[in-house]
């Protein structure tokens, strides 16, 4: 835990970074998604003019026309069909939307004729690391991808890095680690446990001995915005993480307690552990801190409380 001086420095640093967004033109794909909607909100609050791409990333002409029409100096490409199922039937969709869609965004950025070099953040995923030993660092060689989603993201990352030479747009690949917060879909662990807690329903789960790093959505957004404003990140991969790592079962118990529910609702071991489950999943966030100047500022308990209260207002339930 940092002392008062460290906390003040962190807050001041956040304010300074966000002041640099004032007057910037930010093009954003995925603006209606969980992270994207919060990113748009926070960027607008900092004075940026934000335009969310309304079309289909598979349509190259639509992407190009939208980017050239808005003439941004910052582009954050977030949109993707997030599905980590290990189902080969998803391969074609992931290739079309993630790999080809990313090509279309990068090509549109190269076609821009603006004062200065546009800065493009292509948002990857921590899933790209696969099953190698954690904590995952940007210099690590990933294992073979375990899902079509991860395979497509990794292919898009490699293409972006190959295109980062020359005097065109600046490209950085940002890899957010597991993110939670208000508005996340219930199919994810944290909102699913919250809903069970608020509805006083049993929650069957695996033994939950695997560990996961979790980051509050506002912290992930700050990291992505910092990546968009750091020219030194050009041509690099940067993990966006640094949140608390703990066992899944302990995370679930903490949610139950903070929600005022009986932790006995949890049923560890009721579901078998998935084949090939990664036992430890967390980031090496050194580059995120040193290059972007970013560290998470929301404690786990604070983030969970905010997420629980948002869900309580939606569900209307009390334990």
Determine the pLDDT at residue 19.
64
In this structure, the number of other CB atoms found within 10 A of the CB of residue 2 comes to: 10
In this structure, the number of other CB atoms found within 10 A of the CB of residue 280 comes to: 14
Determine the pLDDT at residue 2.
34
The domain locations on the chain are 4-182+215-243+285-297
For residue 22, give the DSSP letter: T
What is the rounded CA–CA span in Å between residue 283 and residue 176? 9
What count of residues does the chain have? 319
Tokens of residue 72, six digits: 């941004």
What is the rounded CA–CA span in Å between residue 267 and residue 270? 6
* C-alpha neighbours within 13 Å on the C-beta side of residue 79: 23
Determine the pLDDT at residue 317.
52
Superfamily of domain 4-182+215-243+285-297: NAD(P)-binding Rossmann-like Domain (3.40.50.720)
User: Do residues 27 and 75 touch, judged by C-beta distance below 8 A?
Assistant: yes
Determine the pLDDT at residue 276.
78
* pTM: predicted TM-score of the whole model, two decimal places: 0.93
Long-range contact set of residues 138-145: C-beta below 8 Å, sequence gap at least 24: 138/175, 138/236, 138/237, 138/238, 138/239, 138/284, 138/287
Nearby residues of 155 by Cβ (< 8 Å), 6 or more positions away: 95, 98, 99
pLDDT in tens, the chain (319 residues): 233 333 333 444 455 566 689 999 999 999 999 999 999 999 999 999 999 999 999 999 999 999 999 999 999 999 999 999 999 999 999 999 999 999 999 999 999 976 678 999 999 999 999 999 999 999 999 999 999 999 999 999 999 999 987 778 999 999 999 999 999 988 899 999 999 999 999 999 999 999 999 999 999 999 999 999 999 999 999 999 999 999 999 999 999 999 999 999 999 999 999 887 899 999 999 999 999 999 999 999 999 999 999 999 998 755 4
Per DSSP bridges, beta strands 244-247 and 211-216 are antiparallel
Q: Give which of 107, 80, 109 is closest to 96, Cα–Cα.
A: 80
User: Do residues 132 and 75 touch, judged by C-beta distance below 8 A?
Assistant: no
Give residue 223's Cα distance to chain centre.
9
What is the rounded CA–CA span in Å between residue 263 and residue 267? 9
Count Cβ neighbours within 10 Å for each residue of 215-224 and write b for 16 or more, e otherwise. bbbbbbbbbb
What is the rounded CA–CA span in Å between residue 287 and residue 233? 10
What is the rounded CA–CA span in Å between residue 235 and residue 123? 13
In this structure, the number of other CB atoms found within 10 A of the CB of residue 148 comes to: 23
What is the rounded CA–CA span in Å between residue 288 and residue 174? 10
Nearby residues of 278 by Cβ (< 8 Å), 6 or more positions away: 131, 134, 210
């Amino acid at each position: 835990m940092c002392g008062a001086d460290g906390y003040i420095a962190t807050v001041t640093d956040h304010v300074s970074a966000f002041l640099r967004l004032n007057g910037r033109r930010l093009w954003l794909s995925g603006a209606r998604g969980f992270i994207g909607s919060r990113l748009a909100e926070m960027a607008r609050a900092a004075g940026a003019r934000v335009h969310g791409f309304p079309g289909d990333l598979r349509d190259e002409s639509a992407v190009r026309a939208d980017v050239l029409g808005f003439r941004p100096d910052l582009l954050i490409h977030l949109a993707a069909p997030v599905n980590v199922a290990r189902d080969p039937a998803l391969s074609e969709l992931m290739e079309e939307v993630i790999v080809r869609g990313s090509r279309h965004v990068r090509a549109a950025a190269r076609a821009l004729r603006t004062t200065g070099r546009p800065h493009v953040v292509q948002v990857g995923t921590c899933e790209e690391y696969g099953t190698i030993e954690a904590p995952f660092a940007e210099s690590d060689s990933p294992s073979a991808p375990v899902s079509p989603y991860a395979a497509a993201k990794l292919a898009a990352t490699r293409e972006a890095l190959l295109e980062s030479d020359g005097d065109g747009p600046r490209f950085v690949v940002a890899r957010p680690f597991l993110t939670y917060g208000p508005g996340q879909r219930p199919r994810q662990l944290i909102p699913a446990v919250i809903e069970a807690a608020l509805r006083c329903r049993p929650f069957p789960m695996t033994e939950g001995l695997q560990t996961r790093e979790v980051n509050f959505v506002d912290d992930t957004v700050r990291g992505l915005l910092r990546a968009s404003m750091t020219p030194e990140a050009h041509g690099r991969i940067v993990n966006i993480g640094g949140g608390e790592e703990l066992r899944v079962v302990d995370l679930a118990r903490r949610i139950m307690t903070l929600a005022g529910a009986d932790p006995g609702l949890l049923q560890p071991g009721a579901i078998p552990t998935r084949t090939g489950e990664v036992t430890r999943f967390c980031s090496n966030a050194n580059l995120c801190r040193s290059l972007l100047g970013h560290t998470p500022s929301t404690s786990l308990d604070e983030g969970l409380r905010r997420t629980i209260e948002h869900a309580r207002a939606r569900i209307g339930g009390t334990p």
